Chains A and B, each alone.
Chain A
Amino acid sequence: MSDYTNYRTGEPVVDSKAPEGPVADRWDTRRFQAKLVNPANRRKHTVIVVGTGLAGGSAGATLAEQGYHVVQFCFQDSPRRAHSVAAQGGINAAKNYRNDGDSVHRLFYDTVKGGDFRARESNVHRLAEISVEIIDQCVAQGVPFAREYGGLLDNRSFGGVQVSRTFYARGQTGQQLLLGAYQALSRQIAAGNVELHARTEMLDLIVVDGRARGIVARDLVTGRIDTYFADAVVLASGGYGNVFYLSTNAMNSNATAVWRAHRRGAYFANPCFTQIHPTCIPRTGDHQSKLTLMSESLRNDGRIWVPKAKGDQRPAGEIPEDERDYYLERIYPAFGNLVPRDIASRAAKNVCDEGRGVGPGGQGVYLDFAEAIQRMGRAAVEEKYGNLFDMYAQITAENPYETPMRIYPAVHYTMGGLWVDYDLQTTVPGLFAIGEANFSDHGANRLGASALMQGLADGYFVLPSTINDYLARHPHSEEIDDRHPAVAEAVAETEDRLHLLLAVDGDRTPDSFHREIGALMWEFCGMARTEEGLREALHRIPRIREEFWRRVKVPGTGEQLNQALEKANRVVDYLELAELMCLDALHRAESCGGHFREESQTPDGEAARRDEEFSYVAAWEFGATGDAPVLHKEDLVFEYVHPTQRSYA
């Protein structure tokens, strides 16, 4: 086995862009300090945006509105299908429309605490400030948020907080916000300010003289490999949860853009921070291709329970009240069913491990609306959650109005991602990462309804302000074309990789490898991790990778629509990224947020952080495939929210 675990610790990485001073003033300060590009000069600058989700769509639209020439990519057939579309529950904003004591500072505090003190205070505060503007922006675009009879916006509460600050559009908030961004982008496409390439997938980053200058992309219909050049590249390509094969991500969500950028020099931060969402529909068998989330908002009114007795096989309705264990309400009386996601997930795993799980294989817990239906009436429950209930019924053929839903945790979101500074710039100058693709705002656990907030904050407001500074400092990019050695090399590497995949002609499908690595990651790098398990995973991953390159089979050619080839190429990157995730999880010998190391827990089984050793961001620098990466630490400083053991009891 290689010395992959034998990583070296390099120079610390420092966020040089975050201003000093009071946290509430830092964003203003930075915006004032940042250099500007004269409006007349903006059209001379080209910016590539990869991805059209909430972050990418909003960034593309806003940059184009500012006058930049935007070249945008999505692998879907339309920008409207980016997976942000599937977010259900809502988006947070410190509007305090409820007059329930909310404020920017409270949202900031909740988010830092919810992230288990592994996020940057500067970034989180900025996010909380901008949250307010996002709602204004979206309403102006015509996003049909839920409203009350007076015509004003409705709010609900979400896990990990005690105020109602979540704006929502029934169970389709992500869809509606995405359509808002998509429509703004469409307007810019029509105006000729955005050049859109749909069904086109980024396969490599072009770095010239140390600066990101373009991408190599494949037209998924013709198979053509093309190069695109720009003055800056923005990655808004989402998270990497599909490493686990089964997740709530879309089938085609992938890590290729971020992983290829990482291989070209961008540090990868906190890769082991993955969020396991507590309320997903349990899997039904080996054929399962993806998992479906049931919005966390259901925990507002649904009560989670399992039978008190192990192996209780009775149907839910026949288990009397006093033989049920509403375990979240019992263990965490203050937050009850609304504890943060990492805690709810782990609690579900624990009761199932005890043998009290329900449904096939005992991998499930009940989410019961009987009490809510009695209290609010069926019509009110329907109005609030109707589409979620329909979705559940459609998938499981069970009626959740009559029998409790069965839920189980599933991989949902990745807090880790490309390391970025306060300007959202990676360690490769000119390469920016926004939305789930970066690591910056959620620490070790993301609170519900915060992903939409962060994606839109980055895309509408942060990046369009900070990218000016970079472009103003690099006003004249050297002309490059395909003959430039760095470009030719990137193209050749990409073409070689695809040719190789087609040439192996083995006896296993790309999916079979994806399932194998996914199962391995779920077992050893999932909800609970141990040193022993992670070492086992790190031992096995290179073997799977080796087998992949020997046995994978991809029919057809590269010069056509070839979905098997697309998949195989994504699996190549999962097989490398998985290794880094396990290493990161191994090196972080503490528990925090979504990262639970069994060796590091409190006597009552809660995650025990070890701040003196691990209060830092782990930013990894790529070595070579299978070679140990270099760890760069960014120390985290908490001036406003002092790290304490999180308590939701």
Chain B
Amino acid sequence: MKLTLRVWRQQNAEAPGAMVTYEVDGISRDMSFLEMLDTLNEELILGGDEPVAFDHDCREGICGACSLVINGDAHGPERTTTCQLHMRSFQDGDTIDVEPWRASAFPVVKDLVVDRSAFDRIIQSGGYISAPTGTAPDAHATPVPKPDADFAFEHAECIGCGACVAACPNGSAMLFTSAKVNHLNVLPQGAPERETRVLDMVATMDEEGFGGCTLTGECATACPKGIPLPSIAAMNKEWLRATRKVRR
């Protein structure tokens, strides 16, 4: 396959960026999208140019590092992570636009690399259960009804890639935040911090400069792990409940 790539190049956070056009040839349909970029980068290096910087690590769809907007879609045309997107999803001769996640809470670091530490700070503000090592009772002390366990798992699957924010026209982190809130709040172990968790995490989300939710549903469509849109409603419910109950 022969392709034309238009890639966002930006030297660093302060520098202006622009789309730069590259031609790549000899691309196999079995290649992953990132392997195609590897091919481009090898050529760039040999030509003395700086390779295109992009985040990637596990390349099996679970670490959440990869983060490219491909032809306007976060993670590209398939519902998966960028690393699991294969070139068979494209046609010979295609022109492909590759851009970084866009949100003011995710500033560009270089080229296609963005800073997602705002997500870490949301988790730090309450996305945990306080269970210091050594304090745990036997694992079977508190059975968890299977539907609750499944609900928790469904939301715990979030990989923190940020596709939800990238896809949202408002740069909102509601789906990310709700995934963690719902995972922990449904479990009996998470009950003692149920109210403070949701209030603090939503407050941090706002402070970090993410937009509000207008329920466009773009986030859930882009989510490679299928975190469902109603998860936002579930968090809203938790939040309203918490505003009524919390003892500050």
Residues of A within 8 A of B (CB): 58, 61-62, 65, 76-81, 83, 85-86, 95, 97, 133, 135-142, 144-153, 169-170, 172, 174-176, 179, 182-184, 186-187, 189-190, 198, 221, 248, 250-252, 284-285, 287-290, 292-293, 391, 394-395, 397, 460-461, 464, 507, 509-512, 553-556, 560-564
Contact = CB atoms under 8 A, between A and B. Distances in A.
15 contacts: A58-B133, A65-B133, A133-B136, A138-B139, A140-B129, A144-B152, A144-B187, A175-B159, A186-B123, A189-B120, A391-B60, A507-B46, A555-B51, A563-B51, A564-B45
B62 A560 contact: no
Contacts of B104: none
B128 A187 contact: yes
A81 B64 contact: yes
Given A137-B136, A140-B135, A397-B88, A561 B110 contact: yes
B34 to A, nearest CB: 7
Nearest to B49: A555
Given A183-B128, A555-B48, A176 B156 contact: yes
B20 interface: no
Nearest to B131: A140
B56 interface: yes
Nearest to B45: A509
B156 A190 contact: no
Nearest to A139: B139
A250 B57 CA distance: 5
Contact of A140 (B12, B49, B137): B137
A46 to B, nearest CB: 20
Contact of B144 (A147, A252, A293, A562): A147
Nearest to B153: A144
Given A147-B146, A187-B128, A250-B58, A140 B136 contact: yes
B28 to A, nearest CB: 6
A79 B88 CA distance: 32
Nearest to A179: B156
Contacts of B110: 221, 560-561
Contact of A287 (B39, B44, B146): B39
A289 B34 contact: yes
Most buried by A among B35, B115, B128: B128
A139 B80 contact: no
B192 to A, nearest CB: 11
Contacts, number: 223
A150 B57 CA distance: 38
A85 B58 contact: yes
B206 interface: no
B172 to A, nearest CB: 19
A-B pairs with lowest CB-CB distance, top 7: A151-B143, A183-B128, A140-B136, A140-B131, A136-B136, A190-B124, A144-B153
B143 A76 contact: no
B178 interface: no
A103 to B, nearest CB: 16
Given A81-B63, A394-B61, A561 B189 contact: no
Contacts of A512: 42
B130 A186 contact: no
Contacts of B190: 142
Interface in B99-120: 109-110, 113, 115-117, 119-120
Contacts of B34: 289
B189 A394 contact: no
Nearest to B54: A563
B96 interface: no
B94 interface: no
A287 B50 contact: no
B143 A183 contact: no
Given A78-B116, A135-B139, A395-B86, A289 B124 contact: no
Interface string B5-20: 0000001100000000
Contact of B156 (A144, A250, A289): A144
B123 A183 contact: yes
B60 A182 contact: no
Nearest to A171: B62
Given A146-B153, A189-B120, 19 more contacts: A78-B160, A133-B134, A135-B139, A137-B133, A139-B139, A139-B189, A142-B129, A149-B146, A151-B145, A169-B156, A170-B153, A174-B62, A175-B157, A189-B124, A190-B124, A250-B57, A251-B57, A561-B113, A564-B50
A623 B59 CA distance: 36
B13 to A, nearest CB: 9
B129 A77 contact: no
A395 B132 contact: no
A145 B144 CA distance: 10
B129 A252 contact: no
Contacts of A136: 136-139
Contact of B50 (A140, A190, A556): A556
A538 B32 CA distance: 34
Interface centre among B59, B137, B159 (most CB of A within 10 A): B59
A142 B57 contact: no
Contacts of A285: 28, 30-31
A394 B28 contact: no
Contacts of B115: 77
A62 B60 CA distance: 29
B23 interface: no
Contacts of A58: 133
B134 to A, nearest CB: 8
Contact of B120 (A80, A391, A509): A80
A141 B136 CA distance: 9
Contacts of B117: 77-78, 198
Contact of A85 (B44, B63, B153): B63
A77 B133 contact: no
B57 A172 contact: no
